[in-house]
Structure 1
Amino acid sequence: MRMLPISLCSPGMKLGKRIFSAEGVVLLAEGVELTASLIRRLDDKGIHYLYIDDPRTEGIEAPQLLSDETQRAALGTIRSVFRDLVDAPGKRHTGMYPYVGRSVRQVMHLVMDDLQRNRDAMIMLSNLLTVDHYLYMHSLNVCVYTTLLGMAYGYGTEELTTLGMGALLHDVGKTQISTDVLLKPDGLSDAEYEEMQRHAERGYYLLKDEPNIPLVAAHCAFQHHERLNGTGYPRRLTGDQIHPYAKWIGIVDSYDAMTSYRIYKNAMLPHQAVETLYAGSGTLYDTAMLKYFRDKVAIYPIGITVKLSSGQTGVVMDINSACAHRPIVRVLTDEAGQDLKTPYELDLSKQLSVMITQVDAGPSER
């Protein structure tokens, strides 16, 4: 299969991966044939790239970090917790939702079990295509990516559980922000921006007394927008005043936000987002943590179309974990752009004279 921006998808193509609702229910199965109206509806629903079956890329499979069962359970829990808090923001009292900590901890056990089976996995653009609710998917992405980083860093089981819970709930304070502000399609006014920033503090107060939720997880919600040089919010903390878990979550939160399509902006591709993060190395983000992150990110995700310095075009078919910026590519065209009769594999970690010069696989290329 290959990943294509939806603007390049056409009727008759067949889906290579399922598409889920925000509740984790399968809306469209693999193999469904696309129509013009279906493509238009997916675009309207916030799906801006698709995995497409292509005979020339047969055998190329984007890895799935979480099982279908874990995905459904996690999205269902996030939906339930967040919607309850939206429905009763003025009635919030300590212990009102005692199930929150238990259900989130159960989800973390499922996530960790799945990730333990694939500890060497790389952080990829989310291949769980989900319509309708950015906040749910963003929360799950940040949880999965941060937990994967924590495993690479060497945290133990209880540390990972707390880190993952903090990541899953880092944006829970947005349930207390007006939807007019949260979903505004253009720039925020100064007053609206101040309102948006309050989600960090509100998230802390929602979580700090919740049974079965570690206080550190509440501080992750409070601190994930703090930055090393004191330019973050809400308290302008600096350096070691920021909990390490919040620093990890801050990096991953920024990355996932940059690589996700939003109403008011197109998405960056992974290599662009990593470059942007590194521009803040040592000032906004911890340099050593950024290096761990960079080493775990699939700069060029499996299925993405790339152009090579040789003039040829191909699709990334596998990642070299020790050299993520030089993947294995299935070459599909010759230097003149003509389709090859027999595509072949090129390992860029061994062909050092060949480089990727262009990437064409996301909304930012539209």
Structure 2
Amino acid sequence: MRLISINAAKPGMIMGRAIFNESGHPLVQRHVKMTEGIIRRLKQMNIQYIYIEDEISKDIVVEETVPLELRAKAVSNIERSFRQMKGLNSRDAAFVLDKQSKKLNFLVDDLLKTIFSNNEMLTIITDTYLYDEALFQHSFNVTLYSLAIAKELGYPYEDLRTIGIGALLHDVGKMVLPLEILHKPGQLTDEEFAIMKLHTRYGFNILRNLHTVSLLVAHCALQHHERLDGSGYPRGLVDNEIHPYAKIIAVADVFDAVTSNRVYRDKMLPSEGIDLIESDSGTLFEKRVVDALIKSVVHYPNGTVLCLSDGRRGIVAKQNTKQSSRPYVRIFEENGMLLKSTYLLNLEEFPQVEILRVDTEYLQP
């Protein structure tokens, strides 16, 4: 399978992965031959990247860390728990959430089992799943990224559970925001953004009233938009004033936000999202947390076409667990000429060869 931009999609190409709705049911099946109508519909659904099957990517497997069934169940549980809080005040929302907390704890346990049973780097494919509300998918993804980072940092299991619940509920305060702001398709005005920022305090007020979770979970909701240099909100905390769990969730939150679909901007590829966060390492985000993200998350997913500094072009065939940013690449082109037979290049063994760019619009001659 190969990752391409939807803008490069042509009728006759074969879908490599299905597109699923929030219930886990396929909207576009795998192996379907694309038509003008299918491509137009995918663009309308704001799909920016798809996987196709072709000769240069034959036998390349693209697998997500969390199985589809577990993802669908997890997001469904998050949705049910969150929807029951709509329109309630903080105290009533806390009462509702308290009754759901056991299910959410089990959900975090399931995700921890998945992460610990898979020693490879975390892969989340956001364009494969479509949800009516991005908040539920975002909460799920942030939980996965936070757990992967915390595991890399060596936190013990009980701490991982608390971090997981904190990540899962970090945006719960958004459920008591005005719906016209929460669901606004475009960018917010300054006045609307000021109201949106209140979700951190609302989340804190909801979660501190829960009897079934640690008070640290409430602080994760309160502090996940704080930044090391004091430029964050709601309190403008700096460095050691921010709880370590909130520092982890802050990085996971931004990474998922920039690598997921939004109506008002294009998503970034994982490598681009990592570069963005790394540029703010030590100023906005704690360096050790950013370093843990870099080590635990796939930079270039399998099936990604890379242009190399020595004139070669290849497709990521498998990940390199020793160095996440230097995958194994199946070389199929040298200096603009297609090769009669491909070969595998381990980029870790050739540090002088740089990755110039990801080519999602490559069309095979």
TM-score (norm 1): 0.91
1:280 maps to which residue? 280
Output the CA distance in 2 between the equivalents of 1:351 and 1:271. 19
**Corresponding position: 1:220 with 2:212:** no
Deviation at 1:176, TM superposition (A): 2.1
> Are the counterparts in 1 of residues 226 and 232 from structure 2 also a CA contact under 8 Å?
yes
Q: 1:343 is paired with a residue of what secondary structure?
A: strand
Q: 1:281 to 1:28 in 2, by over 3 A?
A: same
Distance across 2 between alignment mates of 1:62 and 1:40? 24
| CA deviation string 1:44-91 (max 9, x = no partner) | 223211121223212211232112221121011111122222254588
Q: Give the 3 Å change call, closer, same or farther, for CA 93–291 of structure 1 in structure 2.
A: closer
Q: Distance in 1 between matches of 2:295 and 2:251?
A: 13
1:109-124 matches, within 5 Å, as: 109-118=109-118, 120-124=119-123
> What letter is aligned with 1:152?
E
In the alignment, structure 1 residue 145 sits paired with structure 2 residue 150: no
Q: State the identity %.
A: 34
Counterpart secondary structure, 1:4: strand
Displacement of 1:355 in angstroms is 1.9
CA distance in 2, matches of 1:23, 1:211: 31
Change (3 A) 1:165 1:277: same
Structure 1, 173-182 or 308-317: larger mean CA deviation: 173-182
**SS at 2:225's partner residue?**
coil
By how many angstroms is 1:194 displaced?
0.3
Equivalence for 1:359: 358
Superposed CA deviations along residues 8-54 of structure 1, whole A, max 9, x for unmatched, are 12222222223221233333332233222222222222321112122
Q: State the 1:229 CA deviation.
A: 1.8
Distance 2:24 2:214 in 1: 27
1:195-214 matches, within 5 Å, as 195-214=195-214
Q: Give the aligned partner of residue 36 of structure 1.
A: 36
- How many Å separate the matches in 1 of 2:196 and 2:93? 22
Displacement of 1:317 after TM fit?
Answer: 1.2
Q: What secondary structure, in the 3-state scheme, does the structure 1 residue paired with 2:246 have? A: helix
The CA distance in 1 between the partners of 2:150 and 2:166, in whole Å, is 12
Q: 1:29 to 1:242 in 2, by over 3 A?
A: same
Partner of 1:335: 335
Check whether the contact 1:306–1:358 (CA below 8 A) recurs between aligned residues. Answer: yes
Residue 227 of structure 1 and its aligned partner are, at CA, apart by 0.9
Deviation at 1:301, TM superposition (A): 1.9
Q: Which residue number corresponds to residue 249 of structure 2?
A: 249
Match of 2:130 in 1: 131
Counterpart CA distance in 1 for 2:221 and 2:39 is 36
Assess, with a 3 A threshold, how the Cα gap between structure 1 residues 28 and 202 changes in structure 2: closer, same or farther: same
- In structure 1, the partner of 2:98 is 98
Aligned to 2:25: 25
User: Between Structure 1 and Structure 2, how many residues are aligned?
Assistant: 360
1:173–1:200 Cα contact (<8 Å) kept: yes
- Is the Cα–Cα contact under 8 Å of residues 125 and 270 in structure 1 kept in the other structure? no
CA–CA distance in 2 between the matches of 1:144 and 1:296? 11
2:301 aligned residue: 301
Tell whether the 8 Å contact from 1:95 to 1:211 is kept in structure 2 after alignment: no
Residues 64-83 of structure 1: pairs in structure 2 closer than 5 A: 64-83=64-83
Distance 2:172 2:103 in 1: 15
Give the gaps of 5 or more residues in structure 1: none
CA shift digits 1:271-297 (9 cap, x unpaired)? 322222222222211112211222223
Asked if the contact 2:90/2:205 (under 8 Å) is kept, the reply is no
CA distance in 2, matches of 1:93, 1:316: 46
Q: Which amino acid aligns with 1:140?
A: F
* Residue aligned with 1:164, SS: helix
Which stretches of structure 1, 4 residues or more, deviate above 6 A after TM superposition? Answer: none
What's the CA shift for 1:143?
Answer: 0.6
| Aligned-partner SS, 2:51 | strand
Is the 1:320–1:326 Cα contact (8 Å) retained in structure 2? yes
Cα 1:95–1:300, aligned 2, differ >3 Å: closer, same or farther? same
**TM-score calculated relative to the size of structure 2:** 0.91
Is contact 1:125-1:259 (8 Å) kept?
Answer: no
2:331 aligned counterpart, secondary structure: strand
Cα gap change, 1:127 to 1:233, in 2 (>3 Å): closer
Question: Does structure 1 conserve the Cα–Cα contact (< 8 Å) formed by 2:64 and 2:123?
Answer: no
Q: Distance in 2 between matches of 1:176 and 1:59?
A: 47
CA RMSD of aligned residues (A): 2.1
Name the aligned partner's letter for residue 361 of structure 1: T
Question: Which amino acid letter does the alignment assign opposite residue 35 of structure 1?
Answer: T
The aligned counterpart of 2:344 is 345
